[in-house]
Structure 1
């Protein structure tokens, strides 16, 4: 009598699903830890530029989350931490007349920052491009060092990307959001950090 191998195949499938679920849970915990366990966020020295990473515009004005990053950058600028702002971000909404960078520049000017202290990067559509294009601006203006300004949940990935792009001693200045919901933003960042990790491992994904 020939026995069916269906139970054997089914058991293998079930074991595979369980293993994938366990590995997924372990990775989720590791990524959550990495996002929460930040590298040094205290500015330990002056830099040439403060790079403000873009976020959503609400129409023609920065969203509350983006304003938090901008206010953090103003705090560092007024403390003398850097000489030039690089505001980075492209057009993210068809309803907006301004790119993220243009909206940020207007906000900074409205808060008494001179126009000559603001450099605009208007093309980036993601964090890697923010840092890649900002690095090109730094080269153009002979700026060597930078402080990256963003939210706490975003700091780990931003720091790793900056190091991969050969930033010299990239520093972080991070703000803990009071307006963004923690759980959904951390889950989105886990997905983004997972994708970035795969790219670092040489798996060819689009950044």
Structure 2
């Protein structure tokens, strides 16, 4: 009887993990492109003082949204990582300025170290600047968890995943998806308490 309960629980867990995996993958294909007040670009690593290739693609997409009139402001998130002299958001700001975005149209937060903090601190910037809606910019497989967090922090957000993600190989996609499944389930558990 003990083993039967264990196997039922194991089967349930496997089915749930598969369901979450398919859900995250399916959600990654949603692009709710529309006019919004700002693009909220989630941080990623900085190499030296330059955005990593993954972060650069997110910034490039934010710049594209700005240059094509979808947003009037860019909000960059991300604090300082280990062994970096500059915050993720500051690196993004300098990159955007170099690519012709006026400095007064860029807002940054420099305290966050994880996605949940990115959203939390960005939500404060949104409220302080009377921004009513944002296009959320990140890698496609990151969108479902990030959008759930936007909902939890009362942000009116629409998905705008990077069309040029650096996670292109099957191996990289599987690793990223596995990571997102783990963190998504972890965040669901966190929300219960």
- TM superposition score normalised by structure 2: 0.91
Cα deviation 1:53-112 (Å, max 9, x = unaligned): 00111122111111111111111111101111110011122x211011111111111111
The answer on whether the counterparts of 2:25 and 2:177 sit within 8 Å (CA) in structure 1 is: no
2:74 to 71, 85, 102: 85
2:183 to 192, 195, 203: 192
* 1: CA distance, partners of 2:150 / 2:59: 19
Greater Rg by CA? 1
State the shift of 1:199 in Å: 2.5
The answer on whether the counterparts of 1:88 and 1:122 sit within 8 Å (CA) in structure 2 is: yes
Q: Which moved more, 1:14-23 or 1:140-149?
A: 14-23
Structure 1 residues 139 and 25: CA distance shift in structure 2, 3 A: same
1:175 to 147, 154, 162: 162
Query: What SS does structure 1 have at the residue aligned with 2:95?
Result: helix
Query: What SS does structure 2 have at the residue aligned with 1:87?
Result: strand
State the shift of 1:20 in Å: 3.3
1:27 paired to 2:38: no
Structure 1 residues 178 and 166: CA distance shift in structure 2, 3 A: closer
Superposed, 1:1-207 pairs within 5 Å as 12=2, 14-38=3-27, 40-44=30-34, 46-93=35-82, 95-168=83-156, 170-176=157-163, 178-180=165-167, 181-200=172-191, 202=192, 204=193
Cα deviation 1:124-180 (Å, max 9, x = unaligned): 111121111111111111111111100110111111111121113x11110255423
Higher strand content, 1 or 2: 1
The answer on whether the counterparts of 1:91 and 1:99 sit within 8 Å (CA) in structure 2 is: yes
Where in structure 1 are there 5+ consecutive unaligned residues?
A: 1-10
What RMSD, in angstroms, separates the aligned Cα atoms of the two structures?
Answer: 1.6
Equivalenced residue count is: 188
Structure 1 residues 174 and 109: CA distance shift in structure 2, 3 A: same
